[in-house]
Chain A
Amino acid sequence: MSSPLALLGRAGTYLLLSLAAFVSIFPFFWMVAGATNTSADIIRGKGTPGTALWDNIVKFINSFDMVRVLFNSFLLAGLGTVLTLIVASLAGYGFEMFRSRFREKIFGGLLLMLSIPFAALMIPLFVLMANFKIINTYQAVLLPTIASIFIIFYFRQATKAFPNELRDAARIDGLKEWQIFLYVYMPVMRSTYAAATIIVFMNNWNSYLWPLIVLQTNEMKTLTLVVATLTSGYTPDFGVIMVGAICATLPTLIIFFVLQRRFVEGMLGAVK
């Protein structure tokens, strides 16, 4: 039934997809293999498992106060995610549910702000934090990221798919607005929350520039910053760094795999 040309096309598709998959996965393999090798081996391009794993782990753990670093990372990423989701979903819900003459104008303004590079805001924010005297604190890292315009935008798009009649039904059932949000909106939109969780957690966990600026002492540093510090020396120990890289990647990887099914669903809702 299929023509030879179509068959060729199919084979090509598979070939390209396989290549893409290989290119995508290879660095992960490289990372894991690297964690077991010495730095010299890695630079020489040794991609097979070595024996230096234990050494690397020990060196990595001893390079910084790892308990503290991990605590910082998880606290900032976790708390930041929860707060961002609350704020952004409230805002998205509000934007979609309440008609107001200014609604579209405010929203347009928000989208415009999305285009302003963080680099432009970095300095004023830094000075603002300095004025609040909260440099080198968790608040300083969290506050500017909580009201993420992108996530608000995402929630508003997704909320368009939230049936208005459901809200009407809840109102007739005697729910207050906050109860509708809590008992109807949030459970109905769980896929959206799941997708947003992945995105926000990933962003927070990987957040580099802003924490780099406001977190100044070693005991406040996050895993991302620590691994970055390890790489910036003149003779970076790649084996040790690979261990750090694995640590830095695992949490987002786990969250992704746990929420994967909902993630695609949630994305679907947002682009409708």
Chain B
Amino acid sequence: MPALVLLGIFMVYPILWSLWMSFQVGRGMNFSFGGTANIVRLTQDPVFIRALTNTLLFLAVQVPIMLVLALFFANALNDSRLWGRGFFRTAIFLPCVTSLVAYSVIFKSIFALDGIANQTLMFINLIDNPINWLSDPFWARVVVITAITWRWTGYNMIFYLAAMQNIDRSIYEAARIDGVPGWARFWYLTVPLLKPVILFTSVISTIGTLQLFDEVNLLTQGGPSDSTLTLSLYIYNLSFRFMPSFGYAATVSYVIVILVGILSLIQFIVAKDRRA
């Protein structure tokens, strides 16, 4: 099994190494064993707290919005009577195949101070003065969330759509004959039947959002004043931007691991509960 060997070298070894690292203090390449010093530093580091709350905020807002949208679109597109299914499906999936840099640039230019977003909003009289999207803490977060949602909704939708097509049509026909209304067919048939996939996508999205790096680095670089700083970005900054502090960076990264573990567990438990 060559794959296992590769994994062994490029996953297991670094994992153990970083675990060990997380108990090291020091700068650059000089380490000494610091025990729980890094963990203590975590609790007193305002930037870390900032990054943590930002990441959790993104998670709490973005993942549910995206998954609900994806589920809704998938359900709409699964209707064989819908006109233009192929077009809508491709269109909504399209963002997913854009290049990462391309879309961050596009978003950056759309949300520039006198960019098209502001002009449009002002034109339809929603706002009076241009919003300083990327320099305002609140709006910068909105832009980041919008960007991620734009990119990944279609991706999740494809999973749902594929799963929906595996559901036996006759179940819906039976429900229609039984007089079950459309919303109930969706809620009591589609959703429970898709549960494994929903669980899968929510775990994957959670992991993805917790590890969020590329988008924020390209769009805002964590600013303004750390309002969009994520844990991954902070780790990157700790390791490569400032004076390298690998040990502490490793400790921060294990915060993500623990978060992923806890959240995945919760999602599994919630999914189990609904079956009962």
Contact = CB atoms under 8 A, between A and B. Distances in A.
A9 interface: yes
A24 B2 CA distance: 40
A238 B105 contact: yes
B105 to A, nearest CB: 5
A115 B105 contact: no
B7 A147 contact: yes
A213 B101 CA distance: 16
Interface string A245-262: 110110011011000100
Nearest to B81: A10
A43 interface: yes
Contacts of B254: 120
Contacts of A202: 96-97
Interface stretch (B33-41, B56-64, B231-239): B231-239
Contacts of A263: 158
Interface majority SS (helix, strand, loop, mixed), chain B: helix
B108 A231 contact: yes
A149 B105 contact: no
B94 interface: yes
Chain B contact residues (Cβ within 8 angstroms of A): what range?
Answer: 35 or more
Interface stretch (B42-50, B85-93, B132-140, B170-178): B85-93
B101 A122 contact: no
Interface string A42-79: 11110100000000000000000000000000000000
Contacts of A27: 95, 98, 103, 106-107, 110, 150
A116 B257 contact: yes
Interface string A147-162: 1010010000000000
Q: Name the prevailing secondary structure of the A interface residues.
A: helix
A147 B102 contact: no
Nearest to B246: A123
A179 interface: no
A122 B237 CA distance: 12
A242 interface: yes
A158 B69 CA distance: 26
A238 B109 contact: yes
Given A90-B3, A123-B239, A245-B105, A206 B76 contact: no
A17 B76 contact: yes
A20 B92 contact: yes
A119 B109 contact: no
B14 interface: yes
Interface in A82-131: 87-88, 90-91, 94, 106, 110, 113-125, 127-128
B1 A245 contact: no
B13 to A, nearest CB: 7
A249 B106 CA distance: 12
20 contacts: A20-B91, A21-B87, A24-B92, A27-B150, A30-B116, A31-B102, A106-B4, A117-B231, A117-B235, A120-B256, A123-B249, A143-B9, A209-B236, A245-B106, A249-B99, A253-B97, A253-B98, A260-B90, A268-B162, A268-B165
Interface of B: 1-4, 6-7, 9-15, 17-18, 21, 69, 72-73, 76-77, 82-83, 87-88, 90-110, 112-116, 118-120, 150, 153-154, 158-159, 161-163, 165-166, 182, 196-197, 200, 207, 210-211, 213-214, 217-218, 231-232, 235-236, 239-240, 246, 249-250, 253-254, 256-257, 260-261, 264
